[in-house]
Structure 1
Amino acid sequence: MNNKNEPFIIHRYKSLGYALKGMFLLLKTEASIQVQFSIAILLTIAGFYFEISSLEWIIQIFAIVLVMSIEALNTGLEKICDFVHEDFEARIGFIKDIAAGAVAISSLGALLITLILYIPKFI
């Protein structure tokens, strides 16, 4: 995977390819990411419809990226936990619950941001 004699640009190009592959694997295999991606599409449409400001776009995009990134990390951590210990193990469950909690925190924050951005548009 990592050839020390490989030129820097080639190595970066390959790294980008692995990252894109990971993004598509997430979208293809993980229901939670699919739901979040669908919500992101709806919020993007809403942003165009309500003609939100540049700052509102930045905040909305940041919230979307934050939730989806933390969900990706949660998925990776869950896969590692399942690999390490396939059967139920309380300590693994604790780790997975904490990671899921991080997703919940970011999702609640994104929901609050969405409400703050869009409730005034409906009033």
Structure 2
Amino acid sequence: MPGFFIGRVKSLKYAVKGFFLLLTTENSIITQTAISLVFVGMGFYFKIDRVDWALQFLAMGLVLAIESLNTAVEKVCDFVHPDYHQKIGFIKDIASGAVTFAVLTAFLIGMLIYLPYFL
């Protein structure tokens, strides 16, 4: 049983390390985090309700999680095949497309929450 808990603690340590690596080294994550903070500020300014907060945090988490996975895919692709290759480019484009889905979803959620305040 102690091995199980030690394994979980090590996993958590690696996860926190990855979290901080993303926040400190990846421009796309830094940008998405800054945009998220703007929306948190807007949430306080407009005093959005609890459900809107939940939807907003879900949307922000979705974008950051998918962006993080996209970054991991790009890093693996660059490691496996550093030179340009058509199939690697296709894989990277697909991963980037997943980010686009997440961003569009977050945008629509943001519109549903904030558009009434601007109209």
TM > 0.5 fold call? yes
Match of 1:57 in 2: 53
Shift of 1:6: 5.3
Secondary structure of 2:82's counterpart equals coil
Cα distance in 1 between the residues matched to 2:43 and 2:10 = 34
1:13-92 equivalences in 2 (<5 Å)? 13-92=9-88
State the Cα distance separating 1:62 from its structure 2 match: 0.5
Structure 1 unaligned blocks of 5 or more: none
Give me the whole-angstrom Cα distance separating, in 2, the residues matched to 1:17 and 1:46: 33
Count of paired positions? 119
Q: List runs of 5+ in structure 2 lacking aligned partners.
A: none
**Which protein is richer in helix relative to its size?**
2
- Which segments of structure 1 move beyond 4 Å, counting only runs of 4 or more? none
Distance 2:49 2:6 in 1: 38
In structure 2, distance between residues paired with 1:87 and 1:77:
15
State the Cα RMSD in Å: 1.2
Report sequence identity in percent. Answer: 51
TM-score normalized with structure 2 length: 0.95
The alpha carbon displacement at 1:91 in A equals 0.2
